[in-house]
Structure 1
Amino acid sequence: MKILDKHEIVSFENDQLILVNNEDVSVGKMAKIECHLGSGHLHRGFSVFVFNAAGEVLLQRRSASKMLWPLYWSNACCSHPRYGESDTSAAHRRLREELGIRAELDFIYKFVYRAEYENIGVEHEMCSVWIGMAEAADVRVNENEISDWKFVSMDKLEKDLKTSPDTFTPWMKLEWLRLKNEFATLCPPRWQKRHES
């Protein structure tokens, strides 16, 4: 098993991403940097939420070197499948590359969003949302991608989202709202019990 190099470069501006239409049908490919410039181009992305056995949520703070939303808090892992790569393979690959985590992942839902970051760039994604389980001992952070990380309780996350919403990435806020309101029964047992009471 490959040990994560905490300084390994795993993301490149010339990575070829998958362009799609609103039905998620592939319509070509484009370099990552080009996908995110101008008005943006709709491309496939994915987002992974990781919980521990206590039902806490893993958050990462994005690296200061990120072009879009640097130093914002977000869910455990979010990125893009490369051209010719499946969403499933990409989600597992990126979870290993960013956090050193190997975990079973369950697909939850897919949605389209578009968000602009200052005058710098745009995320316009057909985003697949996944969940998985891991513990703090499993985490080995890639410092090129992540500046900080933590597990937090759902109550703490809810409080922070209300009091400091501008410190979180826009996709994370949209995804968390749907996970909480529509897919709670698919998430960890303690979350289910909390929503059933």
Structure 2
Amino acid sequence: MSSDDTSGDGLGDDLQHENAGQDVIKVDADDNALGTVNRLDAHTGDGIRHRAFTSLLFDQDDNILLAQRSPDKRLWDTHWDGTVASHPVEGQSQEDATRQRLEEELGVTPDQYDNLRVTDRFEYKRYYQNEGVEHEVCAVLKATLVDTTLDPDPEEVAGVMWVPYERLHEHPRWYRQLRLCPWFEIAMRRDFQD
């Protein structure tokens, strides 16, 4: 956040944030598009329900690639995410948005993975400290990396780690030092429901 705000209300920082110039897709509970809304507005106050995705990449031994969010992220900074998460723009499919973010954030190109597919969708709402809120209908996409070469963008990703997926779910106290993003925790829990 900028240190140039002298108004004392904090709004100057938000208006200068990069998200203030972007839109997300406003949706109903069934993920039907209702137009677009400013991305910053969607993540402040009580939030506005919008479309999002989280992508989980695995290696051929069923280890999941976790990515630590940059300390410069406005929400859930330095938390560990299930590879990448973001929002498609109007007219963009979840798969195309995932391909774009994988390449931008991790340097992973489509020839490095197989079978990218949507496996789940859920709605959730979570507040983050006094900074903002996520209210999303979140699609879960999965793929298997056949080439695990990575080139993370340090403006997006603070670190990466391969973790046995089932062990992460079954033994969360072993990984309690990892602060996980709520959407990833929900996606993982739903993956292992009977």
If the length of structure 2 is used for normalisation, what is the TM-score?
0.82
Aligned to 1:141: 152
Q: 1: distance between equivalents of 2:31 and 2:131?
A: 26
| Structure 2, unpaired ranges of 5+ | 1-16
The one-letter code sitting in structure 1 at the alignment partner of 2:87 is H
Q: Would the aligned equivalents of 1:73 and 1:168 in 2 still touch at CA under 8 Å? A: yes
Deviations 1:107-139 (A, max 9, x none): 101110111001110011011101111157421
Amino acid at match of 1:154: Y
Return the alpha-carbon distance in structure 2 between the equivalents of residues 165 and 137 of structure 1: 25
Alignment-mate amino acid for residue 60 of structure 1: A
Residue equivalent to 2:7: none
CA contact (8 A) 1:161 1:168 kept: no
Change (3 A) 1:174 1:165: farther
- Percentage of matched positions with identical amino acids: 28
User: Among 129, 147, 150, which residue is 2:140 paired with?
Assistant: 129
Aligned mates of 1:165, 1:158 — CA distance in 2: 14
Q: Indicate how the Cα distance of structure 1 residues 160 and 79 shifts in structure 2: closer, same or farther if over 3 A, else same.
A: farther
* Match status 1:69 vs 2:69: no
Distance 2:165 2:33 in 1: 36
What secondary structure sits across from 1:181 in the alignment?
coil
Deviation at 1:180, TM superposition (A): 2.1
Partner of 1:108: 119
What are structure 1's unaligned runs of at least 5 residues? 1-10, 183-197
d(CA) in 2 for partners of 1:110 and 1:134?
22
Q: Is the 8 A contact 2:51 2:138 kept in 1?
A: yes
SS in structure 2 of the partner of residue 68 of structure 1: coil
Task: State whether structure 2 residue 187 is matched by structure 1 residue 175.
Answer: yes
> Quick check: 1:162 aligned with 2:177?
no
* Deviant stretches of 4+, over 6 Å: none
TM-score (norm 1): 0.81
Where does residue 43 of structure 1 map in the other structure?
50
Q: How far apart in 1 are the matches of 2:148 and 2:138?
A: 28
- Pair 1:82-2:97 in alignment: no
> 1:51-79 CA deviation, whole Å, 9 max, x = no partner?
10111110011100011011011100100
Asked if structure 1 preserves the Cα contact closer than 8 Å seen for 2:123 and 2:136, the reply is yes
- The residue aligned with 1:191 is none
SS of alignment partner, residue 92 of structure 2:
coil
Size of the alignment, in residue pairs? 172
